Amino acid sequence: MAVATGAQLAARTLRDLGVTVIFGIVGIPVVEIAEEAINLGIRFVAFRNEQACSYAASVYGYMTGRPGGQVHRARLVLIETELTDNYIDLCLQIGNSSANNLPLLVLAGSVETTAITKGAFQEMDAVSFLTPHTKFAVRSSSLDFISGAIKNAYRTCWYGRPGPTFVDLPADIIQGKSTPGFRLPAPETMLVPAPPKTSGDPALIQKAAKLLRTARSPLLIVGKGAAYARAESGIGRFVEQTQIPFLPTPMGKGVVPDSHPLNASSARSAALKHADVVLVLGARLNWILHFGEPPKWSPKAKIIQVDICAEEIGRNAGTAELGIIGDIGLVVDQILTSLSNWRYAPSPVEGRFPSLLAESTAKNEAKVQKAALLPTPADSPLTYQRAFEIIKRTLNSLSPPDEGNIVYVSEGANTMDISRSAFPLNHPRQRLDAGTYATMGVGMGYIVAAHEAYNAVQGSSKPKKIVALEGDSAFGFSAMEVETMARYRIPALIFVMNNSGIYHGDSPNENAWKTLQDQTVFNDTKSDDGKKGLRSTSLLYEMRYEMLAQMCGGKGYFVRSEQELENATRQGFLSDTVTVVNVIVEPGIGKKIGFAWQGNVPESQAKL
């Protein structure tokens, strides 16, 4: 056969593993891998920023069930200004992938093997740097090692607890040529079957079933792991047969339709506080679930954890003796079989749990509806709740929720928290947010990944519209990826909820904002409220974010009123190019800056 280069070997290996899309930012020498991959028919999506690229590759695996590939440019150090550039960015995103249990395969170029330890241009021992943060990190030492290293990294990031893996490819290996007679492995030997699934310990299955039968206030929590495991069919049967109320985590939404009458999302606080037996499917007892601890949870609650990862069992308020390690779909079927025809039927005397949930749901939904339906007064900015109501109503008229043709992406403190309940889902894996790390900047990468997962495959069903709800601060982290979307003709609809600040802005109008700005730049005088100058949370007043789309040939809308928002939503949904809708919302002047998930935030302030 003809002599092969290391770049050709790497690209051929990826193709033979079944990789169809690679996300990356290229530079010398990994550009050669990207070009060879394109020649083999692999779609290569080139980003503007390493963080957005890594976010896309990691969440792609969550949506498709197979790892997303990332080729990372060779650059290791930003010369003369920073200690590191791309590998620091990459390490942060590898941490995000690990924390969220998302499969991610990273290939990166590095200096020639003969230059290691000499202080070569952008030299770094990336393997040592990333080993603590990955499941597998290795440097390819020869052309013969390339295929095996990539295959092992691909399998490892996907099997067991999903997470990131890393293969370092020195420049001389990428550009090197094979010896005469070298043969590529046959394609069929490279295919990696789906990970093997494990069932739960039968004794623990029986114990869990017994606890559920005797519970006065049972609760099911459906986590992101259940969505990743594609366990929606079994969990749906479980809810229907047992009639146990369920509570989805933010990215567990849609595994059981949010429209289901047993959905306790609107009574979240009441559900956690009064449940005595809780079956947790693929969710961590971390800050998102208040660690499973009082006062949010009942101190007497028995928590049955089901997880693929043994390290999660018994964490925080979890009880190790009640933990079940195994595939969620298989374990749910086992518990359901063990329960036989049992159905939750609370006694008239002690069974107040359903009525508590119903009362809490009615109270909370009425409060939410009041805010959502309150018309915006003339010359006043939209509220988040009113803006989301208009967006939801318009989108539902264009694409009924039951069809599941919209994927929602959200990030930003207020935007993400409020939109979680404002946009219900009836299908799994169609809501992506900042996840376990609550990382800002994920949104633009997630949009690209969702498009590639759902729309870029030939023969795919009806295209899904990717709708992003972005805080103005969060949007700024990766806003230049709007150009990436324009380049690859991704017709995303992006709403920037613009309150001119982080958490909230400080000025009700442009004149007031300019006064604060002048105080910062020119003098030390104070405003009437005693504040001096722009606050640490301030952003440019009514920044024209929509122009980012316009400059790339997309569409942009600057929105102040309800009618303008409805029109922009409709036009953006029907557009065949990237659209940014810049929505001016209330700045939140005078409101206390706080984080709803902090343990010391009063119940009245928590966004649950």
Q: What is the pLDDT of residues 394-433, one digit of tens each?
A: 999 999 999 999 999 999 888 998 898 899 999 999 999 8
Once rounded to an integer, what is the mean pLDDT over residues 73-80?
30
Q: Out of 32-41, 119-128, 362-371, which region has the weakest mean confidence (pLDDT)?
A: 119-128
The residue with tokens 């080729």 is 71
35-39, 87-91, 380-384, 570-574: least confident range: 87-91
Long-range contacts of 121-127 (CB under 8 A, 24+ apart): 122/74, 122/75, 122/76, 122/77, 122/79, 123/76, 123/77, 124/76, 124/77, 124/84, 124/87, 126/76, 126/87, 126/166, 126/168, 127/166, 127/168
Quick: pLDDT tens for 150-179. Answer: 999 999 998 989 999 999 999 888 888 877
Summarised one tens digit per residue, pLDDT across range 214-267 is 999 999 999 999 999 999 999 999 999 999 999 999 999 999 999 999 999 999
Q: How confident is the model at residue 457 (pLDDT cuts 50, 70, 90)?
A: low
Looking at per-residue pLDDT, the higher value among 338 and 27 belongs to: 338
Side chain identity, residue 567: N
What CA–CA distances, in Å, run from 350 to 118, 262, 263, 361?
Answer: 74, 19, 21, 20
CA separation, residue 535 to residues 155, 308, 440, 503, 587 (Å): 49, 45, 20, 12, 13
- Which residues in 148-239 belong to E strands, given as ranges? 164-170, 218-222
b/e map 160-169, b = 16+ CB within 10 Å: bebbbbbbbb
Q: How confident is the model at residue 508 (pLDDT cuts 50, 70, 90)?
A: confident
Tens digit of pLDDT for each residue in 546-561?
A: 999 999 999 999 999 9
pLDDT digits (tens, 9 = 90+) for 131-146: 888 999 999 888 989 9
Question: What is the spatial distance between Cα 601 and Cα 605, in angstroms, rounded to a whole number?
Answer: 6
User: Average of pLDDT values for 100-104?
Assistant: 87
CATH architecture of the domain 6-189 equals: 3-Layer(aba) Sandwich (3.40)
Label the pairing between strands 21-25 and 68-72: parallel
pLDDT (0 to 100) of residue 603:
42
Q: What is the CA radius of gyration of the chain?
A: 26
Q: Using CA atoms, how far apart are residues 40 and 34, in angstroms rounded to an integer?
A: 10
What pLDDT does residue 82 have? 30
Site of tokens 């960015």 = 89
The predicted pLDDT at position 340 comes to 93
Return all residues near 454 (Cβ < 8 A) that are at least 6 apart: 63, 407, 460, 463, 464, 466
- Strand ranges across the sheet with 493-498: 431-432, 406-411, 465-471, 493-498, 579-584, 555-559
Amino acid at 514: K
- Is there a common fold for 6-189 and 400-584? yes
CB 308 within 8 A of CB 326: yes
C-alpha span between 492 and 486 (Å, rounded): 9
Q: What is the DSSP letter of 603?
A: G
- How does the average pLDDT of the chain come out, rounded? 86
Is 525's pLDDT higher than 80?
A: no
d(CA 412, CA 418): 10
Please report the pLDDT score of residue 575 as a whole number: 97
Q: Which fold has domain 400-584?
A: Rossmann fold (3.40.50)
* Structure-block tokens of residue 484: 């990436």
CB atoms within 10 A of CB 128: 10
Q: What is the pLDDT of residues 423-443, one digit of tens each?
A: 999 999 999 988 777 788 899
Q: Confidence band (pLDDT; 50, 70, 90) for 90?
A: low
Domain ranges of the chain: 6-189, 202-357, 400-584
Reported as a pLDDT band with limits 50, 70 and 90, residue 81 is very low
Q: How far is CA 595 from CA 175, 413, 455, 587, in A?
A: 50, 8, 36, 16
Q: How confident is the model at residue 68 (pLDDT cuts 50, 70, 90)?
A: low
pLDDT of 593 > 70? The answer is no
Indicate the class that CATH gives domain 202-357.
Answer: alpha beta
Closest CA to 193 of 158, 243, 143: 158
pLDDT exceeds cutoff 50 at 570: yes
Q: What b/e readout covers 280-319, taking b as 16+ CB neighbours within 10 angstroms?
A: bbbbbbeebbbbbeeebbeeebbbbbbbbbeebbbbebbe
How many angstroms separate the CA atoms of 401 and 608, rounded?
23
Q: What is the pTM (predicted TM-score) of this model?
A: 0.90
Cα end-to-end span (Å), the chain: 63
Mean pLDDT computed over 579-598: 77
- Per-residue pLDDT for 49 more than 70? yes
